Amino acid sequence: MAKRADEDELIVVIKKGRLFVHHKRYSDNVPPVITNIENIYERVKADKDDPAVPLSDRFWDEYERLKSFTDTTKTRLTEQSLQQKAINMLKSLINNSELSSQTPYKDFLRILLEDILDYGTLPDYTLRRIANLDPNSIASILKEIERLRKTLGDDYLYREKDRLTELTKEIIIAIENRAK
């Protein structure tokens, strides 16, 4: 079933390791957008008294497209987001010539960057620790990187990748909004 809204659209939420939210307005001839749950919350919520309406003729075709859609451009992050600040800091540290002699640290920094960009397994607390590093103090950066290495382990991302490939359970929720 679907629900009434101000426009025809489909939202597919997929939970497999992490949460993926695909959003497609039927009126747009553009690829679906990968977004986050906060951005579409108002579009999916409904009151318990809202009457259900039948699915549109487009539902199953659009559902199959969204379910298998992969975005090659990645989700756009705002410059002020915690993730983006951590990404900027890591890129800056990787390109920092003073750290060039710290090869194990650079490898670990690349692993952290790959995680943020492709897997999203790091909690906000860790992202905040990275984003708040003082770029003017190499000693404090090295100390914090070493703490992160000890806490997470050098191979933490490989373990996470293995865990994610073993996940076979997938939860999919589709919400269709139909214009009045």
Q: What is the pLDDT of residue 74?
A: 46
Residue pair 59/176 in contact (Cβ under 8 Å)? The answer is yes
Q: Where are the alpha helices (DSSP H) in 12-115?
A: 37-44, 59-68, 82-94, 103-114
DSSP state of 98: G
Q: What is the pLDDT of residue 56?
A: 94
Residue in 101, 161, 91, 104 with CA at minimum distance from that of residue 130: 91
Q: What is the pLDDT of residue 17?
A: 60
Residue pair 36/75 in contact (Cβ under 8 Å)? The answer is yes
Q: Where are the domains of the chain?
A: 3-75+168-179, 82-164
> Could you tell me the two tokens for 140?
């404090």
Residue in 111, 108, 119 with CA at minimum distance from that of residue 163: 119
Query: For each of the chain's 180 residues, which pLDDT tens digit applies?
Result: 799 999 999 999 887 666 778 899 999 888 788 777 888 888 899 999 999 999 999 999 999 888 877 644 444 555 568 889 999 999 999 888 776 666 678 889 999 999 888 777 888 899 999 999 998 888 899 899 999 999 999 888 888 887 766 655 577 889 999 987
